Amino acid sequence: MKIYKGLIGRIVVLVIVSSLMSVFACYSITNAETVLKEKATLEEITAFFTEQGKTVVTFVGYSGAGYEDPQAMLQQAKTVLGTLEPAATIINIGATPDGIGAIYPLAKQQGFMTTGIVSSQALEYEVAVSPDVDYVFFVEDETWGGFLEGTEQLSPTSEAMVAVSETMIGIGGGAVSRDEMIAAGRAGKKVQFIPADMNHERAKEKARKKGQPEPTDFHGEAHQIFGK
């Protein structure tokens, strides 16, 4: 291998450096962009995931309620991700960065494609979307998800969440997560549940604001069905 000196050498080095900068610039721009789809229909969402030709693993759990031990939750997620092949798997969550959404950066670091399906309520209330999610689908929905009140029919958001998932993994979780895992199991999808407490102080504060007694059970509604 020859080392070129003088003007030619400087030109060669400049070309190499410029090429590398272009590659990293493209990589940065690509990963900084999140594709948002508003008013996404079930048909559009399922068609998108089918076109990817990958296994969809969906994580559900606490969102705004947070985790009492977020690091333990991430360690559980890391263990699960370690059993999956990034090139063949999509990690799907609920689009927001809070609670279970903290898995997004971890998944991106490991090379997974990331997606989010979330209710249009997130747009109405201007809820932030994780910067580490590649594609977000907003579903027209009058609720945040789960079974419609008084029925066992899923809301449009949860219907889409269950429809695209081959595997659903719950790490703790409230009523919406519980309902989605119930529906996923009934649909023959693989369901895995890992117990985890919601953030204790947030739960107490929520109860105080509603004038209710402070809770003593922080396992969440999903635990009542899947944690026994």
Look at residue 14 in the predicted model and tell me its pLDDT. 33
Inter-CA distances, 182 with 60, 193, 224, Å: 12, 11, 12
CATH of domain 35-226: 3.40.50.450
pLDDT of residue 139: 98
pLDDT band at 228 (very low <50, low <70, confident <90, very high): confident
pLDDT at 31: 40
Encoded tokens for 115:
């997606």
pLDDT reading at 226 higher than 50: yes
pLDDT digits (tens, 9 = 90+) for 15-35: 333 333 332 222 222 344 789
Q: What is the pLDDT of residues 75-91, one digit of tens each?
A: 999 999 999 999 999 99
Q: What is the pLDDT of residues 106-146, one digit of tens each?
A: 999 999 999 999 999 999 999 999 999 999 999 999 999 99
pLDDT score, position 197? 97
The whole-number pLDDT of residue 12 equals: 33
Assigned token pair, 123: 């747009």
Among the listed ranges 1-5, 41-45, 216-220, which one has the minimum average pLDDT value? 1-5
Res 33: pLDDT: 76
Structure tokens at 43: 């048909």
Give Cβ neighbours of residue 196 (< 8 Å, ≥ 6 apart).
Answer: 61, 62, 67, 68, 69, 72, 73, 76, 171, 172, 220
Residue with tokens 């060669």, as numbered in its chain:
12
pLDDT tens-digit map of 35-71: 999 999 999 999 999 999 999 999 999 999 999 999 9
Mark out the alpha helices in the chain (DSSP H runs).
6-32, 42-52, 70-81, 103-109, 121-124, 156-164, 175-186, 200-209, 221-226
CA distance 109 to 63: 21
Mean pLDDT lowest for which of 17-26, 197-206, 207-216? Answer: 17-26
